[in-house]
Each structure stands twice: as C-alpha cells, then as structure tokens.
Amino acid sequence: MREWSVELDTPHTVHSETRLYELTADLVKALSDHAAVASPGRRTLSVRLNVVTAGPTDAIGAAWELVRSAFRTVGFPGTPDIVRVEVETIDEQARRLKEPTLPTFAGISEVAEILGVTRQRAHQLAQTGSFPKPLASLAAGPIWNRHAIERFAERWTRQPGRPRLVQVTAAPLLGRPIGRIRRPAAKKTAKRVRTR
C-alpha cells in the first residue's frame, strides 16, 4: 500500500462566486482527513487529496468516491464528473514541489558574463535576429531565460577582431572599385574640450 496524491477536475454549475467559495470551503472541510485542497475556477473545480491504496488506478477510484460523497454532503449542485485527473506518489509530489517553478533569469550583465563579452557587445548581440528574445523588458533593461542564453553560447561562433573590409563597386557593369568600407559601426561622438 502506498500513499497517493490525486487531483480531480470536475465541472460545476455554481454561478455565484460567493456561493462557490462557500461550497469549496465546506468541501475541503468534509475531506480534511485526506489533506484536501480545492481551487474553484469559472467552469471547473479542482480538488487534490491524499489516499492510501495499492496502485494509481485504485487511488483514482478511491479519490473519486470521496469527492462524490463530499459533493452530496455539502450540497454542491449537479452531479460531479471527472474531466481531468492527475495521480502521483506523495514522494514524487514532494520532490516536484521542491523544484523551482520559474526559470533562472539573466540580465545584460549576466548575458555578457556567460558569453565572455562586454556589456556593450552583449547589447549589440541582443539586437541580432539569432539571439534569444527577452522574457520581458523592465526599467532596468531586458531579462532573458538563462538557459536560452547558455544554449545560444554553445552554438554561437565567436569571431574576434573587427569586421572584414568589403570592396564596393560603382556599378555591376563598370566593375570598378570605388572604395573600401567597413560594416556599419556605432557612431562616435567627438569630445568637447573647454578652453579659457
């Protein structure tokens, strides 16, 4: 015999939010011997409770009987019906609840550190089409999923040095070079010097 955590979703027909919360609280009280919790939604009610049975199929059946009985006891309108079910051992539930539910975030400083570049270069890379999209842009700047940045770093081919010079011709028919240019770079501003 093992202890199982079973979550059942059942539709409900309660339209008053106040009444729905009252019935849900009564349902949790009726199932308190089974560490029950419940979450009412607009159309469904989700109930999670613990049962001790030989296997997962038996756990679903036992949980379902308990929920149906509690529905009748508290006067929940309608007949409950399972539309979703989840079952797991208590140990698996405890392990899963310890895991973080949010990704690890990375700001521009962390991105620069992961890629081994300056913050300025990290900003430039973030503007390229192959760079991961930020999860959000805050007043302090964009934030990314750290895992996405690490994956980008694994496949990014870093090219040291300045961009190559490119020959530019006046026209394809003439075929004459008219000069050499570098790829566009950030504009530099001249420093002002104060004189007396």
Q: What is the pLDDT of residue 173?
A: 54
Model-wide pTM > 0.75: no
Q: Tell me the pLDDT tens digit for each residue of 158-176.
A: 877 766 655 555 555 555 5
CB neighbourhood size of 8 (10 A) = 25
Selected from 1.10.10, 1.10.20, 1.10.1660, 3.40.50, the CATH number assigned to the domain covering 100-156 reads: 1.10.1660
Q: What is the DSSP string of 18-73?
A: HHHHHHHHHHHHHTGGGT-EEEE-SSEEEEEEEEEESSHHHHHHHHHHHHHHHHHH
Q: How far apart are CA 158 and CA 174, in angstroms?
A: 36
The identity of residue 161, as a single letter, is G
Asked if 85 contacts 5 with a C-beta cutoff of 8 angstroms, the reply is no
Half-sphere exposure of 42 (CA within 13 A, CB side): 0
Q: What is the fold of 2-98?
A: Alpha-Beta Plaits (3.30.70)
135-149, pLDDT tens digit by residue?
Answer: 999 999 999 999 999
pLDDT digits (tens, 9 = 90+) for 89-129: 999 999 988 988 888 899 999 999 999 999 999 999 999 88
From CA 161, how far away is CA 40, in angstroms rounded? 59
For the chain, counts of helices (H) and of strands (E):
6, 9
Q: How do the domains of the chain map onto residue ranges?
A: 2-98, 100-156
